Chains A and B, each alone.
Chain A
Amino acid sequence: MCRRCFGIWCILAAILAVACINTGCGYNYFDKIIKTADMKGGKSNDTAEAFADDKSVTSDSAEIVMYLPGDAPVDMPLVAEELSSRMEKSLNCTLSIVHIPWSDWSQKYSLILSAGENYDLIYTSNWSRYKEYVQRGAFMAIDNLLPVYAPDIMKQIEPEGWEETKWQGRIYAVPARQKAFITDAWVIRGDFRKKYGIPEVVDHATMEVYLDTVKLNEKNIIPLNISPGDGLQYETTTEYENIPGAASMFVAKNYNDLTNIMWELETPEYIEFLKMAKRWNDKGFWSKCVLTNRVMSMDAIVEGKSAAASMNTGHAKTVIEKIKATHPEWDPEFVCFKYKNKSGIHPMEWMADAMAVGRNSRNPGKALAVLNKIRSDRECYNLLFYGIRGRNYELAADGMITLPPGVTADNNWYIPETAGQWGMRVQEFTLKSKDEWMDYYDVVMKKLGELATPDKLACFIFNSDKVNSELAAIIQISGQYGIPMRYGRVDDPEAALKDILERMREAGSDRVKAEMKKQLEAYCREKGYN
């Protein structure tokens, strides 16, 4: 063996040693993070108490970092600065607001939650997977801090609201419900409907008549320019009760029989629905490229590229507002199949919007105090939700919100309630604008409110640990074979459905179902349902 080789080996050994030291550092570093995490929230029983003892909110100054969803409005820096200076005066802390843009929302949000950053407040909700992240320990338990630092919030939220935020008996989020009822809805073009004398649209059959007529007479518009992100609202045709968790692929037999569960694809009515989708597809109600289309129908209808759009009642409100502002002659109509079906309408969950404290927050108490201030001080609230008075909004004598003179909807750089503040909403503080449609929307809400039943499954959290692999595989299968089938892009719906069920069975659908049933039964027993 040559001596040269020996030299090279020495170098390699040295490099390796350095690498080991470095990775060693890495381990130590991570240990440190984990230890601090443990100190702060990990063994949260003693920690939250430790913070609770420190009641001097205003003692040390601190910087509170708050993550909000969506793109920041142009005037956000002005608003944030003003809000921060107010916080400094009353709570001795500055507030910095960071927005997570929609364009990379899902990746970035999940990274922030999973990487253990030191932020203090973050937006969360059921749709952004609160129930999954709370199980993975992304948030700090705050039930001990709330009475100390956020007494006003404690008064605002009813016990059942706190119940929805609970995991293993502890509170991990501050919900912000608005009293609304969320269910499936459509928006259609009233001008077309009236022009051709089509009767009112109330269900899938009448919708088909409307779409048929549009297809026949209006050559320059796609009747239902839908994308895979939308849906054809199978739920509105049956009495099944949707079960949260497992990518919402399960339904219960009905409201009073919650533990009798099925995959939605297994329900006997499903095949009829698929045949309808196939018929609609063959009639050309939507583009042949529907599966590659990335524009949601609710955006297409605003741009005049669709004659109908599928969405929920919340979005319908925004869409109709937008159309009324840009093309009032289109006469947008609100359509809800649930008026006819009547089942499965529930009040909006408390966890539809919420704020949570990050598990590695250094000042959880102060963070909650900031939240409390925003939710109890009307001036701070208006600032965050409506911008700077006189610049972005003005209050009329009757308490309605209007635009300041010289400002229009087009050059108002802080459009009300669009800066991702929804997690801090307080119903009583919400300002209304004078508008016919808003009055109509109130009627819609009242009507739905009469049909609504309490949401029994709002607090159910599915723990998928035991069937993670099966679930991932089934979601995959559902994406590949389910979506084309749901939009009628297959030759034979019956064969396609059989095929997909068989594939799901091979991937272990029975195990997932058994696990879901087990957890659901335990939940219902605990809550005293059935």
Chain B
Amino acid sequence: MRSRKNSFTYELRKNRSMFFMLAPGVVFFLIFCYIPMAGVYMAFTRYNVVGGMFKSPFVGLENFRFLYLSGRLWIITKNTVLYNLVFIVVGMITQITAAIFISELPGRLFRKTTQSLMFLPYFVSYVLIGTFVYQIFNFEFGTFNNMLKAVGLQPIDAYSNTGMWKYVIVFFYIWKGIGYGMVVYLAAIMGIDNGYYEAAEIDGADVFKQIRHITLPMLKPTFIILFLFAIGGILKGQFDLFYQIVGNNGLLFNATDIIDTFVFRSLMGTNDYGQAAAAGLYQSFFGFVLIMLVNFIVKKINDEYALF
């Protein structure tokens, strides 16, 4: 006979407050993530108003065809993945660096002010950033070209050449996200036991040695978890960033087109919800495969750091 102690109802009763606290999260994901998944079915239908989501005619994989027919699937997938990789790597390095700097700053007021100032760009919308960029790089009256002309250099025709856009886009992404992303690392640094640093100081370690041998290793678990989370979204592009900065400028697409902007442009032309759903599913599917793969690798290397 099963002992009372181990039964499920006992578990439920014993940890009822735990389950109660878990409930909102479960309900949230249920409503906003699991139930809408039924909509994936749309990717396989030709959507119309009469049939709605579930009764429109079934067309199989037809909706996926437009992705490769234009011959751009490879470029946009590559762009999406590479941009996101750079965002993740450069973003994490700058965020960790900034967090360490902030934590080492003397004076509470100065530290808080610096942190707030770095946080501010997070609230600037990408629409505004798009306008900034246009005003800076406009050929005829842009700030940048006026500066070049003032010192006797040739103005550059930025909007016709793909060269510099990778850097511009990455720069603005990092600039916007640094204050926000740094908070998590800052919290992790604050959580490190002060005893380690005191002991190190007694042993004669300077600030750089302390960072190298205490702060960075202690940040590693946070870093890996955040990295894994970010990897899952590697096929999801920053639509507003790219769309606001580049817009519909076809000359730049080879360097700046990502899945999201591609899909947006296609669907503004045809208004086909089935194709939009198909593109979304393509992104999610490969995002899923990627996160499973990376998690698997992490697990092989060090079991403790894996997400699941």
A residues sitting closer than 8 Å to B (CB atoms) are: 3-4, 6-7, 10-11, 15, 18-19, 22-23, 26-27, 30, 33-34, 37-38, 42, 106, 110, 113-114, 116, 129, 132-133, 135-138, 222, 228, 247, 287-289, 291-292, 294, 359, 464-465, 468-477, 479-484, 489, 503, 506-508
Whether a CB of chain A sits under 8 angstroms from the CB of B138 is yes
**Cα distance, A108 to B137, chains bound together (Å):** 32
Which one of A114, A292, A473, A483 lies within 8 Å of B66 (CB-CB)? Answer: A473
Contact pick for A137, options B2, B11, B48, CB 8 Å: B48
Q: Which residue of B lies closest to A10 (CB)?
A: B8
A116 and B70 form a contact (CB under 8 A): no
Does the CB pair B46–A507 fall under 8 Å?
no
* With contact pairs A292-B247, A479-B248, A508-B69 given, residues A34 and B51 touching in the complex (Cβ less than 8 Å): yes
* Number of residue pairs spanning A and B whose beta carbons lie under 8 angstroms apart: 160
Q: Per-position contact with A for B47-71: 1 when CB-CB < 8 Å, else 0?
A: 1111111110000001101100111
In angstroms, Cα B272 to Cα A511, docked, is 19
CA distance in complex: A249, B265 (Å)? 16
Residues of chain A within 8 A (CB-CB) of B53 are 30
Chain B, 168-225, CB within 8 A of any chain A CB? none
Nearest A residue to B26 via CB reads: A15
CA distance A479 to B265 in the complex (A): 8
Q: Are B157 and A288 in contact (CB under 8 A)?
A: yes
Q: A288 vs B158: C-alpha distance in the bound complex, in angstroms?
A: 9
Known: A132-B271, A472-B269, A479-B250. A287 touches B138 (CB 8 A): yes
B35 touches A19 (CB 8 A): yes
CB atoms of B54 and A27 under 8 A apart: yes
Consensus secondary structure, chain B interface: helix
Cα A488 to Cα B45 in complex, Å, equals 40
Q: Which of B38, B266, B271 counts the most chain A CB atoms within 10 A?
A: B271
Q: Which residues of A contact B66 (CB under 8 A)?
A: 468-470, 472-473, 476
Q: Pick the 8 closest A-B CB pairs, nearest first.
A: A3-B6, A475-B269, A473-B69, A473-B70, A288-B139, A469-B65, A137-B50, A469-B66
* Nearest chain B CB to A58 CB, angstrom units: 30
Closest to B133 in A: A292
Which residues of B sit under 8 angstroms from A503, Cβ to Cβ? 70-71
Closest to A114 in B: B49
Task: Evaluate whether A136 and B48 lie within 8 angstroms (CB atoms) in the complex, with A110-B271, A247-B269, A489-B160 already known.
Answer: yes
Q: Give complex CA distance A484, B246 in Å.
A: 14
List, sorted by A's number, 7 A–B pairs whose CB atoms are closer than 8 Å. Answer: A4-B11, A288-B159, A291-B248, A291-B249, A472-B266, A473-B69, A507-B70
Asked whether A468 and B35 contact (CB < 8 A) given A292-B247, A506-B71, A507-B71, the answer is no
Contacts A18-B30, A27-B54, A473-B69; A114 near B35 (Cβ below 8 A): no
A42 touches B50 (CB 8 A): yes
Q: Would you give the shortest CB distance from A59 to chain B, in whole angstroms?
A: 29
A135 to B270, CA, bound (A): 13
Partner of A228, one of B12, B65, B248: B248
Q: When chains A and B are docked, how far (Å) is the Cα of A37 from the Cα of B53?
A: 13
Contact of B69 with A470 in the complex, beta carbons under 8 Å: yes
Name the B residues within 8 Å of A114 (CB-CB). 47, 49, 273
Chain A positions within 8 Å of B26 at CB level:
15
**CB-based contact A480/B250 at 8 Å:** yes
Are A291 and B69 in contact, with the CB atoms below 8 A?
no
Q: Are B49 and A291 in contact (CB under 8 A)?
A: no
- Name the B residues within 8 Å of A247 (CB-CB): 269
Query: Whole-angstrom distance between the alpha carbons of A11 and B26 in the complex?
Result: 11
Within the assembled complex, what's the spacing in Å between the Cα atoms of A19 and B32?
A: 12
* Contact indicator per residue, chain B 62-94, by CB within 8 Å of chain A (1) or not (0): 110110011110000000000000000000000
A289 touches B159 (CB 8 A): yes
Does A26 lie within 8 Å of B35, measured CB to CB? yes
CB–CB B34/A468 < 8 A: no
Pair B250/A483 contact, Cβ less than 8 Å: yes
Q: Give a binary string over B213-240; 1 marks a CB under 8 Å from any A CB, 0 the rest.
A: 0000000000000000000000000000
A289 to B145 CA separation, bound complex (whole angstroms): 13
How far apart are the CA atoms of A314 and B248 in the complex, in Å?
26
Contact A489 B50 (CB under 8 A): no
Shortest beta-carbon distance from B237 to chain A in Å: 16
- Other A-B pairs, 4, CB within 8 Å; known A33-B52, A114-B47, A465-B46: A19-B30, A477-B70, A480-B253, A489-B251
Q: Mark B265-282, 1 if CB is under 8 A from A, else 0.
A: 111111111010000000
Indicate with 1 or 0, residue by residue over B6-49, a CB within 8 angstroms of chain A CB atoms.
11100110000001000000100010001100100000001111
Residue B134 is within 8 A (CB to CB) of chain A in the complex: yes
Q: How far, in whole Å, are A484 and B71 apart by their CA atoms in the complex?
A: 19
